[in-house]
Structure 1
Amino acid sequence: MASAVAEAAVRAGPRFRVGSRQVFLPNHVITLVQPKPNQPPTYATFLVPLKFNKLDLRDYLYHAYDVEVLSVRSFINQQKPRQPFEENGAKFGKWYRPLSKKMMTVELAKPFVFPKAPEDLEPWDQEMYDRLRKAQRGQLEARERIMAGKYPLREELEIQPQRVELARQAADLRKGKTQWKNDVVLDDKWEELERIQKTKEKSS
């Protein structure tokens, strides 16, 4: 009985009036925002274009995703003033205020639980990303110190293990303890070039 009532409700369509204008190739972007920790599962927040109104979002969710909403609240977040250019950590240029961002919070007829973030980030190479971010922050801080006239001393510089190992290998080569070798297997064309070079050296 309950399933029959649900099927009849689906066939009857939405419980609100929808727009009659058909849009086949929309040029707008709507983004689902991650909910706050205490936000109920019956509410969802979207980042929408400034020209969007509440009826547009309600119709969009229903026709694109078959999601029915009970109410819509909208608000606009004003952006902070900023300068357009940045070089060596210093910002310059005429101050301006970027376009505001329009947000809409909808009350869903059916609850939706936002998916949890994956615990294992290895498929996305999170370790490499963290190293790059750390290196970028270090470079930015170093540029800011130099721009402020605070040049780092040699004792304050961080010792890189790779540079220490490279210096040790170079010292062994100079002292004759080791010989230069490369274990990389070259392509056949490089072996042919090496053979031609040796032939030229012998003939000269």
Structure 2
Amino acid sequence: MAEALAQAVARQGPASFKLGTKAVYLPNHVVTFVRKDKSPANMATFNVPLTFTKFDIRDYLWNLYNVETTAVRSQVKQSAIERRSTGSGYFRPQSTKVMTVQLTKPFVWPSPPADLEPWNKKLWEARESVSREQYRGDIRKQLGRLARPSKDKESPERKFLRKQAGRILRGAAPGKWDQGNKEVELDSKWDPPKKRKAKSWRLIKRQSKRSVRK
């Protein structure tokens, strides 16, 4: 890492502006390059720490990536007010600082990949959906609104299970449970109950009268 950085510094020519002389060892700040498709190609946006200055982002891009900037705009954005997880009042999270720099050489983002399976896109979407539902449920509990599962929209999986359960109860599929294209053998307890011949009411009534006479 240190050798690659030294080679990058050796390759770059002298800067057209005065660089800072303060050396920073073991930096712990995080700079995030934000993609904005509607921005011009010569404008780049970064999320930076609140302590960052315009000179810091200019020297950072030049020393590490040999990218020269001609102008820097800074903006501090306030975060939205949120409710505490304990339900006791509201709070405002820490603000974020955004810097937009003007580049001497335009940069065009590559087109996003069409197939997102290597990054587990479906798993990520399912996890985000569950997280949102849990968050909404917590908000309803804090507001004193009781959950009503019977009022919720029935999921496709639940509809499928309900249809299969109905088939088993009707005896249309005894001892079988469809799982996609496969049939799974069920335990004997899932077999439809056998019909038993019950004694007539008159016979039971006569027997009770005889027991009373005795």
TM above 0.5, yes or no, is yes
SS of alignment partner, residue 73 of structure 2:
strand
Partner of 1:51: 51
Q: Distance in 1 between matches of 2:42 and 2:13?
A: 23
Partner of 2:14: 13
Partner of 1:33: 34
Partner of 1:3: none
Amino acid at match of 1:108: L
Q: Distance in 1 between matches of 2:13 and 2:63?
A: 14
The C-alpha deviation readout for 1:133-158, integer Å capped at 9, x for no partner, is 44555566667499524624389644
Partner of 1:148: 145
TM-score (norm 1): 0.64
- Cα drift, residue 106 of structure 1: 0.6
Cα gap change, 1:13 to 1:147, in 2 (>3 Å): same
- Cα drift, residue 70 of structure 1: 0.9
TM-score (norm 2): 0.62
Cα gap change, 1:157 to 1:40, in 2 (>3 Å): closer
In the TM superposition, what are the counterparts of 1:114-133 in structure 2 within 5 Å?
114-133=109-128
Asked if the contact 2:80/2:93 (under 8 Å) is kept, the reply is: yes
- Cα drift, residue 98 of structure 1: 1.9
Verify: 1:111 aligned to 2:109, yes or no.
no
Asked if the contact 2:75/2:99 (under 8 Å) is kept, the reply is: yes
- Cα drift, residue 53 of structure 1: 0.7
Asked if the contact 2:168/2:174 (under 8 Å) is kept, the reply is: no
- Cα drift, residue 126 of structure 1: 1.8
Q: Distance in 2 between matches of 1:70 and 1:62?
A: 11
Q: What is the CA RMSD across the aligned residues, in angstroms?
A: 3.4
SS of alignment partner, residue 59 of structure 2:
helix
In the TM superposition, what are the counterparts of 1:1-204 in structure 2 within 5 Å?
12-37=13-38, 39-85=39-85, 92-137=87-132, 144=140, 147-149=144-146, 151-153=148-150, 157-158=154-155, 160=158, 163-164=161-162, 167=165, 177=175
Cα gap change, 1:163 to 1:138, in 2 (>3 Å): farther
Alignment: residue pair count:
165
Cα gap change, 1:167 to 1:136, in 2 (>3 Å): farther
Cα gap change, 1:29 to 1:132, in 2 (>3 Å): closer
The C-alpha deviation readout for 1:9-63, integer Å capped at 9, x for no partner, is x7641100001111231111111111241x1111101111111111111011110
Q: Distance in 2 between matches of 1:155 and 1:42?
A: 49
Partner of 1:196: none
Structure 1 gaps of 5+ residues are 1-9, 87-91, 182-204
Identity of aligned residues (%): 33
SS of alignment partner, residue 110 of structure 2:
coil
- Cα drift, residue 109 of structure 1: 1.1
Cα gap change, 1:69 to 1:156, in 2 (>3 Å): closer
